A and B are shown apart, each in its own frame.
Chain A
Amino acid sequence: MENMYYAAGVVAGIFVAGIAVLVKKFSAKEKQQFDERQIIARLRGYKLGFFTMMIFNAAYAIYAMMIEKPILNTDISMILSIVLGGLVFSVYVIWKDAYAELHKGRKNFLLLFGAVGLLNLLSGIRNLEDNAAIVESGSSQLYLLNFFASILCGISFLALAIKGLSERKEEE
């Protein structure tokens, strides 16, 4: 039952985040602006992310066929494939300087990734302290999602920070 509430919380969170993104997109005065190199890099990033997702799903299908009761259940693997695809996209695009629009710094993204990653990590640790099982009767549980999200944000944060530092050196 608790797991159901958790899943409902995740769905509600995704719904609210989706609405917030849509509201921001339609209320923005200026259109998102990327230059031609950034657009190409973003398209390559989408393609890489998509193929990562497909390859992970194919690998999971083979794994699930070979093992009677896989530790990674189907729901979690679906979400993990999306997280992996998103991670590949964000790291590639950050590395190609195409994450932020023209004239927009990376500070806001650093803050966002840092805060969301930290909150998810704290939430995951709190779940563990409350004895919520990450693996129950041989199958992974939804509580893993907090750790997935914190890893996604953490790696994106690191990529942004490292790219920022290397660029500062280049400018000097």
Chain B
Amino acid sequence: MKNLKLKSARAAMDLSQQELADRIGVSRQTISAIEKGDYNPTINLCIAICKCLDKSLDELFWE
């Protein structure tokens, strides 16, 4: 299932997939796969994304 919350949070901070990926130390394709719902990130990566986007785990990853 697509993670539209992540996509909109990233867009709200005016970050491209590449910029977000660079900030948390993963590849752009990994961010793209998470947004498309093709990859389930580990909790560590979820936390890193949340910290970078200034959101909570619930806001981005809880359905």
Given A37-B30, A170-B32, do A102 and B25 touch, yes or no (CB 8 Å)?
Answer: yes
Measured CA separation A55–B45 after assembly (Å) = 36
Residues of A near B45 (CB, < 8 A) are 35-36
Q: How many A-B Cβ pairs are below 8 Å?
A: 27
Chain B, interface size category, equals 10 to 19
Chain A, interface size category, equals under 10
A38 in the interface, Cβ–Cβ < 8 Å? yes
Closest to B38 in A: A37
Residues 21 to 44 of chain B near chain A (Cβ within 8 Å): 25-27, 29-30, 32-33, 39, 41-42, 44
Q: B33–A37 contact, CB under 8 A?
A: yes
Measured CA separation A99–B30 after assembly (Å) = 13
Q: Is the interface of A mostly helix, strand, loop or mixed?
A: helix
Query: Would you give 24 A-B contacts (Cβ < 8 Å), ordered by A?
Result: A35-B25, A35-B26, A35-B27, A35-B30, A35-B45, A36-B30, A36-B42, A36-B44, A36-B45, A37-B26, A37-B27, A37-B29, A37-B30, A37-B33, A37-B39, A37-B41, A38-B27, A38-B30, A97-B27, A97-B29, A102-B25, A102-B27, A167-B29, A170-B32
